[in-house]
Structure 1
Amino acid sequence: MVFSSISFLYYFLPVTFFTYFLVPRKFKNFILLIASLTFYFYGEPIYTVLLLISSVSDFFHSRYIERHLGSKKAKYALVSSVVINLGMLGFFKYADFLLLNINQLLGTTIPYLHLSLPIGISFFTFQTMSYTIDVYRGETKAERGFLNFATYVSLFPQLVAGPIVRYQTISDELKNRRHTLAQVSNGLKRFVIGLSKKVLIANQLGELSNIFRDSHEPSVLFYWIYAIAFSLQIYFDFSGYSDMAIGLGRMFGFSFPENFNYPYVSRSITNFWRRWHMTLGSWFRDYVYIPLGGNRGTAALWIRNIVIVWFLTGFWHGAQWNFAIWGLYFGAILVLEKKWTLKYLERVHGVVRHLYVLLIVILSFVIFNATGISGISSDLAGLFGFMDIPMISNETIYQMKNYAVVLILAVIGATPVIKEVYFKMLKHKISSILLIVIEPATLLLLLVSVTAFLVDGSYNPFLYFRF
């Protein structure tokens, strides 16, 4: 089940919401747990057992770790927990990739497992690993109640695509959270905005990307339109989902961390990665980069740490070499910025710095969305005119006209312009009064528009289900 579906919007969510607020406080986590398991079972009936195994495993591992804190037993238990989590992730996500490479390298014909990827496994395994590691470090107490912990692991607003929520972030709210009308209202508003970003913008850009892939009249300009469209699509798709998750969390009394902060306004790649998928970046920083030594030690060790972290960051997104190349590409850019280019960038005009970031990022998502290494080569060749194709074609002009409005809206929406206008209006008496009417009317219009698109059966993928 996805948030951008009729079944979720008009059946699952209303029933869950009203049931949750009708029951006494002591039963609220139970309702959330049942709803979350139902939500996951709807899309992954067989793999729901993995979610339960992960919950049971890390619950008891953490209790054991805390009981033997400071001893080798605690360390062995931590290793056991991490091995189980990474074992599940590796088996279901990377087994066939490993077999493919073994077969290609050794000329063998080992049969593939053809396992479907459990939705959200990359997210909930990282969450549970961060929990046991934090208990081992003494940074959080082991949860005593299994109901609370299972609710944390399976919490449906952020279960399948994040943001990656650490236990210590919501541990107090799991046991004692407040519910107010303002909180529910703000959460609902955030949810509708995220839903609109996903359905009204990301899905339309996805259609344009697919049209490009199916085109029989490619051109250099069409390659660039595709590259820009996909870069915007993945932003609105994933940030829209994060908005929906954060909004749903607020509706049920939880404060999830922000995951995006207008990354396309960045003026360096270093700053871009402080704004893009922030919970994943902080996870790799705290649980991989710093334990490896961070930027301490020699330059060679620091570069090694960067390479490891960014290879893993890329590979986390999927079992294909283009994801690993994408991660290493950013790792190399970040090393160059830290050691050389950033000091020169600071001397040039902000517009130049901004264009530099956009070029780097757009090229990165061409790599990200390519089909294998050969796909990377052909897509980059098309962008830079190294293929036997025209600079422009009739289909390019036609599709530019068709999608001009959504592309313009996407570019504007990827900046904080609308947000800044909104807050300026709040500061003035007349415009703030007008907002009392305009804001709910706009949200209702957006919800009606989204519903119309979904009822029509329009293109409605979710990119991060692949990861």
Structure 2
Amino acid sequence: MLFNSFEFLVFLIVVFGLYWFVFNKKIRHQNILLLLASYIFYGWWDYRFLSLIILSTLVDYFVGLQIHGTTKASRKKVLLGISMAFNIGLLAFFKYFNFFVDSWIQLLNSVGYQTQNTWSLNIILPVGISFYTFQTMSYTIDVYRNKLVPTKDFISFAAFVSFFPQLVAGPIERASNLLPQILGKRTFSYENGIQGLRLILWGLVKKVVIADVLALKVDDIFLNYHDFGGGVLWLGAVYFAIQIYCDFSGYSDIAIGVSKLFGIELMSNFKFPYFSRNVGEFWRRWHISLSTWFRDYLYIPLGGSRKGKLKSLRNVFIIFLVSGLWHGANWTFVVWGGVHALLFVPSYISGRNRTYTSDIVAENSWFPTLKELGQVLLTFFLVVLAWVFFRSASLTSALEYISFMFTKFDFPLIYKNGLYSVGSLLFLDWIFRKDERLNFPFLKSVNKKILGLVEVIVILVVVYLISLNTSSSQFIYFQF
């Protein structure tokens, strides 16, 4: 079920009504409703893959209890290994089996062993598998580290694993944040509800009004890049940068907004990453739930920055390359991760990678300084180049695309109308850059009737655009 569909609108209204007006007497009844609603939401794509979520839930539920119930360090490690092997095994089979087989065959052929591929399987990638497996793994690891006491309430745990707003594309929530909210009593807040609806609306605008419109141009440019000059190819790369941002952050906004309607707060997943002043800051603002997951469960266990510069750099490259591979079974994603590692290295070596951790660009001004503007433009330029690898079908096409960007020096006016979407998004993001939750005091001073009218007009525009696209285009990150 897609957020940008009429089916989801009906689904949300029904579940919301049952949640607050029928099952509001007991938390357990609300959690049973959340669990059933989440399974219906996920099963809308393919009910067969519900078995994977249920199996993953059962494994980590019982493993968590067993780890907590034993004092033997060796047994704890074995139990943790069972959880890791099961979840990584699911990912390896459904997402990477054919990729590794194809890569192995290509390697053999490249050194003279002519081998045919008879091992590839017709495997369908379950939607959201990269997200919910990471979520359940973090639960088991935190129990192993004694940072979390496992719950005995299976219904609540299952609702945590499958919570429908963030099930298929994040944010990847930690049990320490989401599980206590599911176990505890929730109360409806009018202010939270309004803020949630605004986030849903803004997320739909990003997805339907900007991402889906740019997608048509991006698909044509990347598919036929041989036929265009460098100017159009630059536009295609910039358009994709905005498309994937609006598509993915739009999903996160809707997920956070829907959760607010049910009295649950999710972590922020994007904080205006295209206003970053270096690549380190970009990764603190882009897909935050994934980057912090790799930091806490891979980078730090590998030694982090505690064992000297060389090992620290090794760890940096590992997390970036693994992050690239997480995004998809293609060498283009691995190279994309490697490019970001290379872009990150200079600031890491110079010690400037942690320069911008709490402040924002032009924090106390409407306009950036010349230095800040230069930093933002340079970072955006580098990130856009890296996106070419992410979007391209192969490494060869990515390298050709980038080569043409710098060697074909024409700039025809074709596709220039997409710049309106880019400019509008960046302008609004600049205004909102101090709070990704859109919780601004100045909105309270705006006339309620005027504000309501504007929001109704935006809703009608979004609904109209959804009706034009009867296929309701999927979110990009569903394929990951």
Using the size of structure 2 for normalisation, the TM-score is 0.90
* 1:326-361 Cα shifts (integer Å, max 9, x gaps): 111111221221114949x99982222112101111
Question: 2:197 is matched by which residue type in structure 1?
Answer: L
What's the CA shift for 1:454? 1.3
What's the CA shift for 1:372? 1.3
Matches within 5 A, 1:1-12: 1-9=1-9, 11-12=10-11
Between the aligned partners of 1:327 and 1:214, the Cα distance in structure 2 is: 22
Contact 2:432-2:438 at 8 Å conserved across structures? no
Between the aligned partners of 1:171 and 1:315, the Cα distance in structure 2 is: 28
Contact 1:102-1:108 at 8 Å conserved across structures? no
Structure 2 counterpart of 1:81, from 77, 80, 83: 83
Contact 1:208-1:226 at 8 Å conserved across structures? yes
Change (3 A) 1:37 1:166: same
What's the CA shift for 1:419? 6.6
What's the CA shift for 1:433? 4.1
* 1:67-114 Cα shifts (integer Å, max 9, x gaps): 014521111000110100000011000001011112212223223112
Q: Give the secondary structure class of the aligned counterpart of 1:274.
A: helix
What's the CA shift for 1:423? 8.6
Between the aligned partners of 1:172 and 1:304, the Cα distance in structure 2 is: 36
Between the aligned partners of 1:370 and 1:49, the Cα distance in structure 2 is: 33
Contact 1:262-1:416 at 8 Å conserved across structures? no
Matches within 5 A, 1:30-429: 30-106=32-108, 107-176=115-184, 177-215=186-224, 217-340=227-350, 342=352, 349-385=371-407, 389=408, 391-393=410-412, 397-400=413-416, 402-417=417-432, 426-427=441-442
Higher helix proportion, which one?
1
Q: Give the secondary structure class of the aligned counterpart of 1:461.
A: coil
Question: 1:404 is matched by which residue type in structure 2?
Answer: L
Question: 1:383 is matched by which residue type in structure 2?
Answer: M
Contact 1:264-1:414 at 8 Å conserved across structures? no
Question: 1:194 is matched by which residue type in structure 2?
Answer: G
Question: 1:250 is matched by which residue type in structure 2?
Answer: K
Q: Give the secondary structure class of the aligned counterpart of 1:291.
A: coil
Q: Give the secondary structure class of the aligned counterpart of 2:44.
A: helix
Question: 2:6 is matched by which residue type in structure 1?
Answer: I
Change (3 A) 1:453 1:63: same
Contact 2:272-2:433 at 8 Å conserved across structures? no
* 1:270-294 Cα shifts (integer Å, max 9, x gaps): 1111111111111000000000000
Contact 1:69-1:136 at 8 Å conserved across structures? no
Relative to structure 2, which stretch is displaced further, 22-31 or 82-91?
22-31
Structure 2 counterpart of 1:27, from 26, 29, 42: 29
Q: CA RMSD in A?
A: 2.2
Contact 2:212-2:473 at 8 Å conserved across structures? yes
What's the CA shift for 1:416? 3.6
Query: Is 1:448 aligned to 2:460, yes or no?
Result: yes
Between the aligned partners of 2:250 and 2:294, the Cα distance in structure 1 is: 23
Question: 1:277 is matched by which residue type in structure 2?
Answer: H
Percent identity between the aligned chains?
A: 34
Q: Give the secondary structure class of the aligned counterpart of 2:430.
A: coil
Change (3 A) 1:316 1:418: closer
Question: 2:64 is matched by which residue type in structure 1?
Answer: S
Between the aligned partners of 1:348 and 1:321, the Cα distance in structure 2 is: 38
What's the CA shift for 1:425? 8.2
Question: 1:409 is matched by which residue type in structure 2?
Answer: S
Between the aligned partners of 2:227 and 2:78, the Cα distance in structure 1 is: 59
What's the CA shift for 1:223? 0.4
Question: 1:351 is matched by which residue type in structure 2?
Answer: L
Between the aligned partners of 1:308 and 1:301, the Cα distance in structure 2 is: 10
Change (3 A) 1:181 1:417: closer
Relative to structure 2, which stretch is displaced further, 304-313 or 120-129?
304-313
Change (3 A) 1:44 1:74: same
